[in-house]
Structure 1
């Protein structure tokens, strides 16, 4: 019966060059923020390689609460039985400090208002996107989806 259950799951490896291995295990599905929206990866998915955008990586197992991570970017490599997330930086949603995340968002908004040069605006927009993604991960983590 265990082998049958594993065929309905995909192996997920989440690693970060700075932090090392983050997660190694099975999931029914992993949802990853890609360039054109969230990508759901289930067993048997076609091979692919894509850039990960700042957002929420979600591990889904039926009958269990999802595990959510904030990821600042990286790459996703998919094989039919394995999904590998190589994250630039990653943080478990449950570990995010809400006050610090909101402070970072406000700081990024202020930087965006004050930016006069294109490079300063782009940097402030990136920082704002990261802060918003961290807050979204935190909210999803608290709601359990």
Structure 2
């Protein structure tokens, strides 16, 4: 039995990560779940948030938005709609996206798609939390 688990994260565009890790925590659609080696197999829909994994005592972060995670005893495969390593996140772009989404939500105009604006707001805030967590602050300055 191995003390590590293979983590694969892919999007429709690219392979984001393929690495043996000690632990995986992911944002399931109904709440966060954690996976250690030799976990019972299951399938989960993913929400918007930060997937994190531990390797050699260090925590690494990946922003995830939608998709599925397939968990097995020796592997976690994440098929995500959007996935970005924390270092890839452009905080200024996320901040501007948050401002646009907040502006749309405040307008309350008939032509505003509220569900879309709320999803955009949620994604931008999760991106900023992911980046700030990776930088060690643990919080996001909103």
SS in 1 for 2:121: helix
Q: Higher helix fraction: Structure 1 or Structure 2?
A: 1
User: Normalized against structure 2, the TM-score is what?
Assistant: 0.89
TM-score between the two structures when normalised by the length of structure 1: 0.87
Q: 2:39 corresponds to which residue?
A: 45
Distance change >3 Å, CA 71–CA 62, structure 1 → 2:
same
Aligned residues: 138
CA drift at 1:115: 3.2
Q: Which residue, out of 82, 86, 89, partners 1:93?
A: 86
Residue number in structure 2 paired with 1:125? 118
Q: Does the 8 A contact of 1:30 with 1:60 survive in 2?
A: yes
Pair 1:49–1:55, CA change in 2 (3 A): same
Question: Out of 17, 22, 30, which is 1:23 matched to?
Answer: 17
Deviates more, 1:8-17 or 1:119-128: 119-128
C-alpha change, 1:118 and 1:40, in structure 2 (3 Å) is: farther
**Unpaired runs of 5+ in structure 1?**
none
Q: Is the 8 A contact 1:66 1:144 kept in 2?
A: no
Q: Is the 8 A contact 2:7 2:21 kept in 1?
A: yes
Superposition deviation, residue 121 in structure 1: 1.2
Q: Secondary structure at the match of 1:143?
A: coil
Give the aligned CA root-mean-square deviation in angstroms. Answer: 1.8
> CA separation in 2, counterparts of 1:104 and 1:95?
16
Kept in 2, the 8 Å contact 1:33–1:39? The answer is: yes
Cα distance in 1, alignment partners of residues 61 and 33 from structure 2: 14
SS at match of 1:88: strand
